Amino acid sequence: MSSTHVSTKINGQAVEYVCPNDASLLEVLRDQLGMTGTKEGCGSGDCGACSVTVDGRLVCSCLVLGVEAQGRAVETIEGMANKNQLHKLQEKFLEKAALQCGICTPGVLIAARSLLEKNPDPTEQEVRYWIAGNLCRCTGYDKIVRAILESAKELREEAA
């Protein structure tokens, strides 16, 4: 299996790695770079647990090759909090108990942040459709949806 040298940016930092050409970005993040915040669920783009953004676009990192990150900017859950200051979404997820086992949580948070960057004032339906590709087997989604809506509201109030 041939490998490729990749220069990319992860959470704002320049990163270089050599990865097998058939390795997914998810495998590179977790197994080569030790960034295990991004979770593997299905490995086939159905569950959203491995959600990251590449050049600001929400994607499943299991459906992106590590070599495709060349020259791009990748954002993962590790870059969400500002040092010890949690992101509003992270705070709200804790406050509202919008997680149980936690496997889906990093992906849901990345997806939710991506939604709020695009649409700071989503309806409940827009939230539910946006995260339709993030499967959670614990919460029944309701607490997740409420945490996202409440985060959006507080972020709007803080920005006003």
Partner 1 sequence: MQYLAPKTCAEAVAALAACDGDARLLAGGTDLLVRLQADMIEPDLLVDIKHIDTCQSIEEGPDGFVIGAAVASAELGEHASLTQAWPGVVEGMGLVGSTQVQGRATLTGNLCNASPAADSVPALVASGAVANVIGPHGKRQVDIIDIPTGPGRTSLAKDEMIESFSFPARGPRSADAYLRFIPRTEMDIAVVGVGVNLSLDENGTCTDARVAIGAVGPTVMLVPAAAQALIGSQVDAAALQAVQTACSDAASPISDKRGTAEFRKHTVGVIARRAAAIAHQRAQAAE
Cβ atoms of 77 and 109 within 8 Å: the answer is yes
Number of alpha carbons in the 13 Å side-chain half-sphere of residue 159:
11
Does 37 help bind partner 1 (rule: CB under 8 A)? no
Nearest-angstrom CA–CA distance, 143 and 95: 10
Does 73 help bind partner 1 (rule: CB under 8 A)? no
Nearest-angstrom CA–CA distance, 77 and 39: 10
Binder to partner 1 among 95, 101, 132, 153 (CB under 8 A)? Answer: 132
Cβ atoms of 28 and 64 within 8 Å: the answer is no
Our CA dihedral for 30, 100, 155, 108, rounded to 10 degrees, sits at 40
Least distance CB 94 / partner 1 (angstroms): 24
Per-residue binding letters, 76-115, with partner 1 (x by CB under 8 A): -----------------------------------x--xx
* Maximum C-alpha span of the chain: 53
Interface stretch with partner 1, choices 9-17, 37-45, 136-144, 151-159 (CB under 8 A):
37-45
Binder to partner 1 among 133, 138, 146, 150 (CB under 8 A)? Answer: 133
Binder to partner 1 among 41, 48, 79, 122 (CB under 8 A)? Answer: 48
Residues that bind partner 1 (CB under 8 A): 1-2, 4, 21-22, 24, 43-46, 48, 51, 54, 57-60, 62-65, 67-68, 70, 111, 114-115, 129-134
